[in-house]
Amino acid sequence: MADADLGSPDLYINRELSLLDFNERVLELAFDAAVPLLERLKFLCISSSNLDEFFEIRVAGLKQLHELGSQRSLPGEAAIPEQLAAIHGRATTLVHRQYHCLNRVIQPALDAAGIRLVPQDEWDAGTRAWLAEHFSTQVEPVLSPLGLDPARPFPRIQNKSLNFLVRLEGKDAFGRDCELAVVQAPRSLPRVVPLPDGGGGRAFVLLSAIVQEFVPQLFAGMRVLGCWQFRVTRNSDLFVDDDEIDDLRRALEGELAQRRYGAAVRLETSADCPADLSDFLLAQFALTATDLYRVAGPVNLNRLTALYDLVQRPDMKYPIFTPGLPRRLQGATDYFAVVRQKPVLLHHPYQGFAPVMDFLRQAAADPQVLAIKQTLYRTGGDSPIVDALVAAALAGKDVTAIIELRARFDEEANIELATRLQEAGAHVMYGVVGYKTHAKLMLVVRREADGIRRYCHLGTGNYHPRTARGYTDYGLLTCDPEIGLDVHGLFLQLTSLTRTPQLTRLLQSPFGMHAGVIARLDREAAHARAGRPAHVILKMNALVERESIEALYRASQAGVRIELIVRGMCALRPGVPGVSATITVRSIVGRFLEHSRVWYFANGGEPELYCSSADFMERNFFRRVEVAFPISEPDQRARILRNLEASLADNTQAWQLGPDGRYVRLAPGDAEPRSSQLELLARYAAGADAAS
């Protein structure tokens, strides 16, 4: 079927529904009895947090496009109303499963383990008295009940805040009838409250239950007929008109102030909220019945994450592990000397992120270092990376930081980091207007006996020590002269008005990366037709860009064996006869978030392997500054291939995508159970691959 219409909508899976499928896979780990109990609770909370972001960004974007008159989000996609209807059906099922998991699976298991979320109907006299005192002293002073009448309109409700709608009977102090009031819970109040003498701190009450029980104290002289939780989710995507702004930072600061009050996209209420009141709330937020989600529990499951830290039960958590260290760095005092001998490949979190920070700290203190340049996308509020850059600037080195202010949900933290660096004397740039700088690059320029040498760090993940403990990523420390020149050219491009550099070793978007990927896939197809070795392995977070999917289909039609490891969204439909029969797609979901992007091309026996910051998405190829870097050392390339093979052999944490668009979790059956993440933990703990 070489003449098949590769643009046919039937060959593509809807990206929004695919993302909801990923959340289903995360939720499945909350049901998995083989996962430690508190980790299962965390997976439940992650699925809830992911769903929040899905509505804040993906659903909000679809609604906004529809309001602007767009019929479809992308050519070949279903009409937007059809997509929203399909999303509502799938999301409703997902929400039902989340609360079933909490109420019927997680909570009974916690109870059996002596960890209790004590419901109101089980409070004894002592518990009730303590909670009444807690409400009076800790909760009531920060509550502001708001009666609703013509003089007191419905209040502004912050995005994802906890609120209560209260039905009243009677007259207030001024003799006015008041039927409804809103109580807003400040974000400063902890949502999970430990009870005293709770068996070692293992009995808890939810703030929502406390407010609902004692809310009558807020309305003296009136009768409370009912109190129901609600939460609204709002559009949280910041809009900045790239053609109109003079100061990106100032424009973003203005937008951040409005994010909490963007257009409403979802309403959650207690399952028992009366229909007339849910209709009233929908009207207040200009929403329809398809935007309503009734929940049998707290309206924000993600707040239950607090239990993970409150409960000190190591037996209910993943075993602690100590990240490994490449043998050549063990005891090393001069990272520059080590990297001069041979590049250092780091695999996080199996190997620690500390070498990256130590390298930067050494560069900051080294009198021979002249300049340090770095991109910063997500670093965290209290970043040791930024500390080292500040120290370097204060030491008189030329420090340049490309800070991406529009890193979603990290905008405010990044503005604060920019201020710190500027005050220390660093040059701070905000990237390129219209293009997010997502590439992970560090350049250290050092004067040495034989002249100026450039040392680089290139990575697939952020310069964020905390996420490096939970995300799988690769990082390369190298002083390869050609890579150094490429990175130097990229920084010049980002900080000045220079034209796009002619890159020797790296692929960069938005310029040559997409064309480079398509060319390599077409080259693989040519190798297959000529009878030469043809094999592609791609690992990434998302695969939705149409032209690259078409290139994968063409390669499959030519007979190329294509193995895809795609954690999240995947629009490609594998296993379709005559189109994608040689393509398999799997998703690994486990203890660590699979975040690394790796591209392997057999290339007729002369293999190429790249690591990258980019997924196969339109935004990564065309609206971001991204980099893909080659792994040239044979032993390091072989190590990454072994890691990919472990993922492809996984039969416990892997999900296989079928041609019908459905994922099926693999099971070992009679075979030996294989978990790629457990195997890699064991491999690195034993010192395997430590030399490279």
Cite the active site residues.
Answer: 438
- DSSP track, 108-141: HHHHHTT-EE--GGG--HHHHHHHHHHIIIIIGG
Q: How far is CA 131 from CA 118, 135, 140, in A?
A: 12, 6, 12
| Count of residues making up the chain | 692
Q: How far is CA 657 from CA 19, 75, 269, 615, 665, in A?
A: 13, 24, 34, 18, 9
Reference 404, options 277, 269, 248; nearest CA is 248
Partners of 169 in beta bridges: 223
Q: How far is CA 286 from the centre of its chain?
A: 29
Tokens of 392: 């370097």
Tokens of 513: 């990366």
CB 184 within 8 A of CB 157: yes
CB 499 within 8 A of CB 521: no
**Any residues with CB less than 8 A from the CB of 381 and at least 6 apart, and which?**
413, 416, 417
CB 105 within 8 A of CB 37: no
Partners of 185 in beta bridges: 162
Angle, to 10 degrees, between the axis of helix 37-53 and the axis of helix 80-100?
Answer: 160
Q: How far is CA 326 from the centre of its chain?
A: 28
Q: Which secondary structure element, helix H or strand E, spans residue 638, and what is its range?
A: helix 634-649
CB 595 within 8 A of CB 565: no
Q: What is the 3-state secondary structure (H, E, C) of 199-210?
A: CCCCEEEEHHHH
Tokens of 501: 């550099």
Reference 181, options 141, 146, 215, 157; nearest CA is 146
Distance, CA of 57 to CA of 149 (rounded, Å): 33
**Any residues with CB less than 8 A from the CB of 446 and at least 6 apart, and which?**
336, 363, 366, 368, 369, 370, 452, 453, 454, 455
Burial class (CB within 10 angstroms; exposed 0-12, middle 13-18, buried 19+) of 266: buried
Side chain identity at residue 330, one-letter code: Q
**Any residues with CB less than 8 A from the CB of 478 and at least 6 apart, and which?**
339, 343, 344, 455, 456, 458, 484
Q: Which secondary structure element, helix H or strand E, spans residue 457, and what is its range?
A: strand 451-459
